[in-house]
């Protein structure tokens, strides 16, 4: 019930306004968000890479309905990618892109998002790194996978994200478990109806394991996005005889575990930055009660 309420709050303009106006919120948000500027993002990226971890950077923003905002997001990613190359970070840092941030919600959104994503991919290629297309709520799944197919014609390294709580995902894993295909498997962080998504945690966990087996049995590059100790152990066992996979974890969540895993496995940290942090932040609170407890404790003790 608490998770459902938080996920509803993530889409509420009134809740967003209240949280963003609270003076004590931003210092707490910094646990999960690198900062508001590209310089903040670069500084945190350098530190993570120095600790033996790789990075995927997300310039925060989603559900854009203004063409100028979509264009500004593309420009921000191009600037970020150029700076990653200039600072010698591109070999270990890629970017993650939400298609709704680059035009998917606009009229003729599939075409606009594809054209804008192509620009970001071209900038990534010039910088010597890669792009992963973030997955959003289930209404965008088909469009996102369609854009992915188009992009992979010219940029076969573009990564996909699949969400294990969706009932369709096991088949999507089979479709994408081919050579050279980078697939991030996560559990999912949006409020979805029972008609398309498993609702019970145990069902989601079982789906995650089934999907993980499909990816590990395939010839692609599985990216195992989880903080769940049981899923981490299962992934380590399934992947023990193959080198071409990685763990992915969120910035600010289980940092000590990330460092431990990085001693024996490839670990990539999902690092968001920018002013549009509200939706991302509330979804992180919904995922783990410990995150919400941390947030409330910080507000009380500051």
CB distance 133 to 184 below 8 Å: no
Q: Is 260 designated active site?
A: no
Q: Is 167 designated active site?
A: no
- How many angstroms separate the CA atoms of 176 and 219, rounded? 9
The count of other CB atoms within 10 Å of the CB of residue 207 is 22
Give the tokens for residue 58.
């997300």
- How many angstroms separate the CA atoms of 268 and 92, rounded? 9
- How many angstroms separate the CA atoms of 214 and 225, rounded? 15
- Among candidate residues 105, 184, 268, 283, the one labeled active-site is 184
Spatial neighbors of 160 by CB under 8 A, at least 6 apart, are 132, 133, 135, 144, 145, 148, 176, 181, 182, 183, 184
- Among candidate residues 53, 92, 105, 134, the one labeled active-site is 134
- Residues identified as active-site: 134, 184
């Amino acid at each position: 019930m608490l998770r459902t309420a938080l996920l509803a709050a993530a889409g509420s303009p009134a809740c967003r306004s209240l949280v963003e106006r609270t003076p004590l919120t931003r210092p707490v948000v910094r646990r999960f968000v690198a900062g508001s500027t590209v310089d903040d993002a670069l500084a945190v990226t350098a530190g993570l890479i120095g600790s033996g971890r790789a990075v995927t950077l997300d310039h925060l923003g989603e559900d854009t309905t203004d063409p100028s905002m979509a264009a500004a997001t593309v420009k921000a990613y191009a600037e970020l990618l150029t700076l990653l190359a200039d600072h010698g970070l591109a070999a270990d840092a890629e970017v993650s892109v939400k298609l709704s941030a680059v035009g998917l919600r606009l009229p003729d959104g599939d075409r606009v998002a594809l054209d804008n994503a192509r620009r970001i991919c071209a900038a990534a290629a010039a910088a010597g790194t890669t792009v992963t297309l973030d997955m959003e709520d289930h209404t965008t799944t088909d469009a996102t996978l369609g854009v992915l197919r188009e992009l992979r014609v010219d940029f076969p390294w573009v990564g996909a994200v699949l969400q294990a709580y969706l009932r369709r995902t096991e088949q999507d894993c089979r479709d994408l478990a081919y050579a050279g295909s980078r697939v991030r498997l996560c559990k999912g962080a949006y409020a979805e109806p029972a008609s398309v998504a498993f609702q019970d945690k145990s069902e989601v966990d079982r789906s995650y394991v089934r999907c993980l087996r499909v990816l590990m049995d395939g010839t692609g590059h599985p990216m195992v996005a989880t903080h769940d100790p049981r899923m981490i152990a299962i992934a380590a066992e399934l992947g023990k005889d193959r080198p071409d996979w990685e763990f992915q974890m969120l910035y600010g969540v289980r940092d000590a575990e990330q460092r431990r895993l990085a001693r024996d496995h490839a670990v990539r940290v999902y690092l968001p930055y920018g002013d549009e942090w509200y939706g991302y932040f509330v979804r992180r609170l919904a995922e783990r009660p410990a995150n919400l407890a941390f947030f409330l404790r910080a507000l009380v003790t500051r």
